[in-house]
């Protein structure tokens, strides 16, 4: 695994952390004050910072560090997460996402924006700390240590390359003591878990770093070490009781354990001198200092931590006595220092365990999944063919073969469903991205908007998710920019000044339905109508229903906004949205009530790998026409067919004339025009607008087909969108309706035919 692969994994994890971060912040925004939520948010930023440090992504590290510092104030209850605070934090999360993207794909970020946010975050962190009172205890935060796990944690100079000053802040429980009067002793109980070693951390290195903080005495607790024959080499058996005298304080100690914190039980207490003294009076030996030869670490480098008992050769009895002593001291200390922080750290450890248990996932290359889906699809076809031939050959077939085949059929169906489910993903990431879009547009337009999302866990094929973001962003922009009124106007109308945009996803009859509703002004039908007349889209005296007027906004080049803003109304409008939804095999509709808002409803297929098609016959060939393109089918009557020009023919459908297109002719399957009366006409609506009647010989039926690429082994064929495999195992071609319609307008289908000749 080379560095780039590791980096790629890091960025994948970053995406997850960013999603976690955003959802956590949004929860806080909704009034959730669960310390776990704060911890989760903190952890997300912290992990990004750690990983970024390992890859030397300084911009990311420095921003994450400031962010983390401010979050820590929230975590330690010094900063109340008010709406204003969270607004800054959400923006910071956006910038963090930008920085991550910039680090991955190159490109630059808005420097000014991140600087402003850094200042705001610093202000927040500082604002809650009364500088005068806390000054003696305030210590410069230690700049981000490098995260590479095996490497020793090195303290960087307090001012890093970015030139920002780390924010002075303090930890409440520590500050209770006048820290500068004496050098405090920290007593640390450090019990690594198996995970610590599994993640490449090394207890010995942590201890060595700790020794740099000040005078240290250390005791290794080996009680839990089983006999050699019962020992699991991957288990962690030792724990250490460390007492270190340092002026770095508890936060200095925590910094050492920064990247191991969640993989060990860590209990750090600052021993007040009196307490230590008391304990010393009670027992002769409050702490048995064990000489700890650190030099051996430097020689060994990778000395396994479990080998260390060899170093600490101590008398077993003395060790037990010392352990008792230490535990007493710890009890005294814990009474003295019982505070929220200890509870929080315990809770966070518990949470980490829980998270590890719950989210068991693996990352799999999409290609592998696709290959599996391919093979399972083939299995289903094969099974169908097998059943068919058994039924044909075995007339008195009540045999066990038939029973077995039925079971096989159920099994294959089940396998197919399960495999398809692998590709399904919740729409949550897209919806979360929309939250950001709403925030940004609300900021620019000066409107106050609340985004409510429902059904985030609705699952749909990954390819659909990927292609959903763009049209959805566009529609959200429209909804906020054009749909919602300004707060003052809303108030005047007696509405909540804060507008609501509701984004819902749900499954309905084998499709996913996404609804985008706003409580804005709704569509101004008069204006739309006027605009349509101005643009010659409709006749001035046309009599249109409300619904028809609403649907006018899907026409090309239609924008009702009076002024062209940065956000929307640049000439690309709802027609683009409609087209991209249609390209996904979806439909979009709108319903609007003046003064109450508009609802856009999109219905999309659950997967792009499968298509609803009509199987037709053209000149002896079997073709599949995508069902989404077909408006209706009809049997032409002789009286409805009219010749037009030399070779054109029109069909009259309810008094409107529609050109007839002979599919067999266009695809060169036959040389002469077919007789329309012998076939069936499929009325289709095409991309360029307008309807065409496609002539086919016969309709075989409707079925779901699995889309197969022609390009993989062959080349693009004009007029053909893709191929599929029918139940009999033969390949059928899927018609590219738009291309065929375009060809019928006289554009040649054969333009790239020389390329098709490659075989």
Partner 1 sequence: MTYAANNLTHGRELIAFRIGDQEFCVNVMSVREIRGWTPATSMPHAPSYVLGVINLRGAVLPIVDLSLRLGMKPAEPTVRHVIIVAQVGTRVVGLLVDAVSDILTVTDDNMQPTPDIANEAAKAYARGILAIEGRMICLIELDALFPHTESEAA
CB-wise, 212 or 716, nearer to partner 1? 716
Q: Name the pairing type of β-strands 499-508 and 449-454.
A: parallel
Chain-centroid distance of CA 519 in Å reads: 27
Whether 431 contacts 467, CB under 8 Å: no
Among 374, 448, 580, 700, binds partner 1 (CB under 8 A): 374
CB-wise, 271 or 667, nearer to partner 1? 667
Among 25, 86, 465, 749, binds partner 1 (CB under 8 A): 749
Estimate the crossing angle of helix 58-75 against helix 83-105, to 10 degrees: 160
Q: Does 558 engage in binding with partner 1 (CB under 8 A)?
A: no
Q: Does 700 engage in binding with partner 1 (CB under 8 A)?
A: no
Q: Does 718 engage in binding with partner 1 (CB under 8 A)?
A: yes
CB-wise, 323 or 710, nearer to partner 1? 710
Q: Does 708 engage in binding with partner 1 (CB under 8 A)?
A: yes
Between the two ends of the chain, the Cα-to-Cα distance in Å is: 38
Whether 33 contacts 10, CB under 8 Å: no
Q: Kindly determine how many residues on this chain lie close enough to bind partner 1 according to the rule CB under 8 A.
A: 39
CB-wise, 540 or 756, nearer to partner 1? 756
Q: Does 133 engage in binding with partner 1 (CB under 8 A)?
A: no
Query: What does the H/E/C string look like for 194-223?
Result: HHHHHCCCCHHHHHHHHHCCEEEEEEEECC
CB-wise, 580 or 622, nearer to partner 1? 622
CB of 545 to partner 1, least distance (A): 41
308-316, 437-445, 541-549, 662-670 -> range binding partner 1 (CB under 8 A): 662-670
Determine the Cα–Cα distance for residues 106 and 115; give it in Å rounded to an integer: 19
CB of 615 to partner 1, least distance (A): 13
CB of 733 to partner 1, least distance (A): 7
Among 137, 513, 667, 742, binds partner 1 (CB under 8 A): 667
CB-wise, 273 or 378, nearer to partner 1? 378
Reading the block at residue 449, the tokens are 């908007």
The three-point CA angle 611-616-621 to 5° equals 110
Whether 319 contacts 219, CB under 8 Å: yes
Whether 726 contacts 609, CB under 8 Å: no
Which residue shows structure tokens 């790239």? 752
CB-wise, 439 or 665, nearer to partner 1? 665
Question: 309-335 burial string, b = 16+ CB within 10 Å, else e?
Answer: eebbebeeeebeebbebbeebbebbee
Q: Does 624 engage in binding with partner 1 (CB under 8 A)?
A: no
Q: Does 717 engage in binding with partner 1 (CB under 8 A)?
A: yes
Q: Does 757 engage in binding with partner 1 (CB under 8 A)?
A: yes
Determine the Cα–Cα distance for residues 692 and 661; give it in Å rounded to an integer: 7
Q: Does 621 engage in binding with partner 1 (CB under 8 A)?
A: yes
DSSP 8-class letter at 148: -
Q: Does 661 engage in binding with partner 1 (CB under 8 A)?
A: no
Reading the block at residue 384, the tokens are 């169908």
CB-wise, 638 or 757, nearer to partner 1? 757
343-351, 501-509, 519-527, 728-736 -> range binding partner 1 (CB under 8 A): 728-736
Q: Does 385 engage in binding with partner 1 (CB under 8 A)?
A: no
Q: Does 540 engage in binding with partner 1 (CB under 8 A)?
A: no
Residues 6+ apart with CB under 8 A from 414: none
Q: Does 364 engage in binding with partner 1 (CB under 8 A)?
A: no
Q: Does 366 engage in binding with partner 1 (CB under 8 A)?
A: no
- Cα dihedral 57, 59, 65, 67, rounded to 10, equals -130
Q: Does 493 engage in binding with partner 1 (CB under 8 A)?
A: no
Q: Does 492 engage in binding with partner 1 (CB under 8 A)?
A: no
Specify the 3-state DSSP secondary structure of 6. helix
CB-wise, 351 or 374, nearer to partner 1? 374
Q: Does 673 engage in binding with partner 1 (CB under 8 A)?
A: no
DSSP 8-class letter at 142: P
CB of 380 to partner 1, least distance (A): 10
49-57, 136-144, 413-421, 750-758 -> range binding partner 1 (CB under 8 A): 750-758
Reading the block at residue 630, the tokens are 């077909």
Reading the block at residue 304, the tokens are 């396994």
Q: 38-41 contacts: CB < 8 A, separation 24 or more?
A: 38/71, 38/74, 38/75, 38/81, 39/75, 39/344, 39/347, 39/348, 39/351, 40/351, 41/71
Among 129, 721, 732, 737, binds partner 1 (CB under 8 A): 732
CB-wise, 85 or 381, nearer to partner 1? 381
CB-wise, 44 or 720, nearer to partner 1? 720
- Cα dihedral 187, 192, 193, 196, rounded to 10, equals 130
Nearest to 246 by CA among 275, 220, 278, 270: 270
Query: What does the H/E/C string look like for 342-385?
Result: HHHHHHHHHHHHHHHHHCCCCCCCHHHHHHHHHHHHHHHHHHHH
Among 173, 669, 683, 685, binds partner 1 (CB under 8 A): 669
Among 715, 727, 745, 747, binds partner 1 (CB under 8 A): 715
Q: Does 759 engage in binding with partner 1 (CB under 8 A)?
A: yes
Q: Does 622 engage in binding with partner 1 (CB under 8 A)?
A: yes
- Bridge partners (DSSP) listed for residue 737: none
CB-wise, 339 or 387, nearer to partner 1? 387
Nearest to 758 by CA among 708, 709, 716, 722: 716
Among 360, 395, 655, 713, binds partner 1 (CB under 8 A): 713
Determine the Cα–Cα distance for residues 723 and 707; give it in Å rounded to an integer: 6
CB of 382 to partner 1, least distance (A): 9
Reading the block at residue 692, the tokens are 């065409």
Q: Does 709 engage in binding with partner 1 (CB under 8 A)?
A: yes
129-137, 584-592, 629-637, 704-712 -> range binding partner 1 (CB under 8 A): 704-712
Q: Is 360 exposed, middle or buried (0-12, 13-18, 19+ CB in 10 A)?
A: exposed
Which residue shows structure tokens 């106007």? 489
CB of 5 to partner 1, least distance (A): 23
Q: Does 452 engage in binding with partner 1 (CB under 8 A)?
A: no
Q: Does 705 engage in binding with partner 1 (CB under 8 A)?
A: no
Among 56, 496, 711, 727, binds partner 1 (CB under 8 A): 711
CB of 727 to partner 1, least distance (A): 11
CB-wise, 61 or 667, nearer to partner 1? 667
CB of 389 to partner 1, least distance (A): 15
Residues that bind partner 1 (CB under 8 A): 374-375, 377-378, 381, 621-622, 667-669, 708-720, 723, 725, 729-733, 749-750, 752-753, 755-759
């Amino acid at each position: 695994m080379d560095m780039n692969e590791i980096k790629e994994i890091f960025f994948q994890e970053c995406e997850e952390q960013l999603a976690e971060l955003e959802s956590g912040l949004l929860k806080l925004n909704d009034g959730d004050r669960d310390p776990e939520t704060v911890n989760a948010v903190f952890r997300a930023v912290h992990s990004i910072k750690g990983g970024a440090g390992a890859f030397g992504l300084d911009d990311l590290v420095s921003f994450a560090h400031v962010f983390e510092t401010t979050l820590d104030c929230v975590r330690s209850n010094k900063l109340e997460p008010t709406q204003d605070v969270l607004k800054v934090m959400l923006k910071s999360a956006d910038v963090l996402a930008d920085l991550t993207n910039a680090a991955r794909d190159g490109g630059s970020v808005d420097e000014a924006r991140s600087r402003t946010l850094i200042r705001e975050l610093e202000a927040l962190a500082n604002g809650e700390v009364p500088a005068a009172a806390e000054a003696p205890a305030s210590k410069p935060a230690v700049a981000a240590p490098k995260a590479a796990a095996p490497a020793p944690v090195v303290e960087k100079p307090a001012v890093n390359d970015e030139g920002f000053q780390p924010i002075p802040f303090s930890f409440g429980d520590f500050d209770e003591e006048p820290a500068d009067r004496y050098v405090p002793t920290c007593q640390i109980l450090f019990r690594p878990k198996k995970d610590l070693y599994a993640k490449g951390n090394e207890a010995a290195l942590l201890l060595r770093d700790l020794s740099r903080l000040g005078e240290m005495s250390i005791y290794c607790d080996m009680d839990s070490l089983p006999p050699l024959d019962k020992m699991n080499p991957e288990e962690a058996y030792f724990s250490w009781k460390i007492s270190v005298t340092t002026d770095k304080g508890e936060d200095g100690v925590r910094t050492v354990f920064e990247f191991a914190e969640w993989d060990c039980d860590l209990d750090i207490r600052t021993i007040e001198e009196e307490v230590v003294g008391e304990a010393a009076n009670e027992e002769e030996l409050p702490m048995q200092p064990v000489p700890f030869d650190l030099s051996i670490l430097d020689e060994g480098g990778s000395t396994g931590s479990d080998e260390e008992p060899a170093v600490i050769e101590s008398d077993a009895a003395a060790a037990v006595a010392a352990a008792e002593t230490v535990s007493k001291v710890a009890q005294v200390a814990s009474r003295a220092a019982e505070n929220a922080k200890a509870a929080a750290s315990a809770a966070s450890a518990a949470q980490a365990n829980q998270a590890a248990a719950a989210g068991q996932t693996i990352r799999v290359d999409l290609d592998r999944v696709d290959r599996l889906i391919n093979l399972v699809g083939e299995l289903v076809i094969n099974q169908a063919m097998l059943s068919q031939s058994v039924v044909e050959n075995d007339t008195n077939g009540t045999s066990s073969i038939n029973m077995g085949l039925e079971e096989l059929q159920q099994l294959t169906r089940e396998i197919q469903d399960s495999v398809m489910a692998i590709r399904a993903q919740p729409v949550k990431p897209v919806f979360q991205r929309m939250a950001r879009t709403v925030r940004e547009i609300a900021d620019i337009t000066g409107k106050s908007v609340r985004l409510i999302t429902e059904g985030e866990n609705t699952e749909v094929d990954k390819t659909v998710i990927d292609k959903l973001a763009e049209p959805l962003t566009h529609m959200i922009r429209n909804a906020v920019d054009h749909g919602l009124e300004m707060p003052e106007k809303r108030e005047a109308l007696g509405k909540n000044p804060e507008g609501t945009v509701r984004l819902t996803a749900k499954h309905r009859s084998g499709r996913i339905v996404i609804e985008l509703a706003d409580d804005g002004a709704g569509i101004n039908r008069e204006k739309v109508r006027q605009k349509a007349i101005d643009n010659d889209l409709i006749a001035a005296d046309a009599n249109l229903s409300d619904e028809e007027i609403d649907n006018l906004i899907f026409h090309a080049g239609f924008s009702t906004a009076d002024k062209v803003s940065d956000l929307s109304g640049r000439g690309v409008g709802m027609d683009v949205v409609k087209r991209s939804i249609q390209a996904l095999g979806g439909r979009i509709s709108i319903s609007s009530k003046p003064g109450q808002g508009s609802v856009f409803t999109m219905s999309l297929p659950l997967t792009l790998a499968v298509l609803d098609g009509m199987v037709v016959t053209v000149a002896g060939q079997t073709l599949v026409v995508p069902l989404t393109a077909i408006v209706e089918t009809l049997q032409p009557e002789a009286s409805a067919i009219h010749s037009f020009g030399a070779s054109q023919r029109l069909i009259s459908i309810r008094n409107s004339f529609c050109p007839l297109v002979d599919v067999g002719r266009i695809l060169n399957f036959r040389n002469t025009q077919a007789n329309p009366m012998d076939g069936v006409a499929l009325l289709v609506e095409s991309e360029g607008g307008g309807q065409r009647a496609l002539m086919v010989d016969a309709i075989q039926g409707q079925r779901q087909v699995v889309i197969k690429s022609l390009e993989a082994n062959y080349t693009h064929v004009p007029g053909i969108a893709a191929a599929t495999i029918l139940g009999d195992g033969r390949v059928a071609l899927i018609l590219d309706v738009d291309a065929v319609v375009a060809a019928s307008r006289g554009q040649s289908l054969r333009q790239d035919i020389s390329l098709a000749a490659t075989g």
